[in-house]
Amino acid sequence: MNLRVLGLTFLLAGASIDFARAGALLDFDFCIKGDSSFGNCGTITGEIIGLKSWGCSSPCDVIITSLPRNLGVRMSDFSVDSSCWTVYDDSFTVRCGQITCANFYSIGDDGKYAFAINHDGTNEFENILKNRGVGNLCGLDGVTFTQVKPCSSVPEPSQYAAFVFLAVVGLSVWRRRFASAAMARLSA
């Protein structure tokens, strides 16, 4: 009976560490290679920041890091976030460290630019005012995602504290039961 309590305590502590690891946020680089269907060839690169490590979520931010020169856009890493762009669709699904589903569409800078990842099968950046864009119609297959920093197998320090706390509680319960059983044997 006493070993069951101790084992259960260690099992709960280990599970809490696994749940904490599953809650980590992931960052991904993306690359969209444009084709001639948009009139301009070139590559769009950027980063998706802060996706949940499992399931569907919205990123904390999307940053475009490079665009082809022929779009007429002065490029200095600009962010596609809700404070300066209007985001209409914003959903990414991550499974086993890979983006398996995406739908992102935003219009920014007072309607001058549009950016999409797998929005109705379209991946593109468009300069609306100059009617120039680059992208492809390949859906999710037209975007390459690379995880920037894989999930660490090392739990957060707070999870170590939870593990130690549960271990101490389990040990104290075990010792109390062991001591009361020993006292009962001595008094008998």
CB neighbours of residue 109 within 10 Å: 15
Q: What would the pLDDT profile of 78-113 be if each residue is shown by its tens digit?
A: 666 556 788 899 999 999 889 999 999 999 877 888
**DSSP strand E in 113-180: where?**
113-119, 122-127, 132-136, 143-147
Q: What would the pLDDT profile of 113-172 be if each residue is shown by its tens digit?
A: 899 999 999 999 998 888 888 999 999 999 999 999 655 566 666 667 777 777 777 777
Query: Tokens 């001595």 map to which residue?
Result: 186
Of residues 128 and 19, the one with the higher pLDDT is 128
Q: Is 141 helix (H, G, I), strand (E, B) or coil?
A: helix
Q: Indicate if the pLDDT at residue 4 is higher than 80.
A: no
Q: Could you tell me if 89 and 119 are in contact, meaning their C-beta atoms sit under 8 angstroms apart?
A: yes
Q: Is 13 helix (H, G, I), strand (E, B) or coil?
A: helix
CB neighbours of residue 43 within 10 Å: 13
**pTM, 2 dp:** 0.66
Q: Indicate if the pLDDT at residue 45 is higher than 60.
A: yes
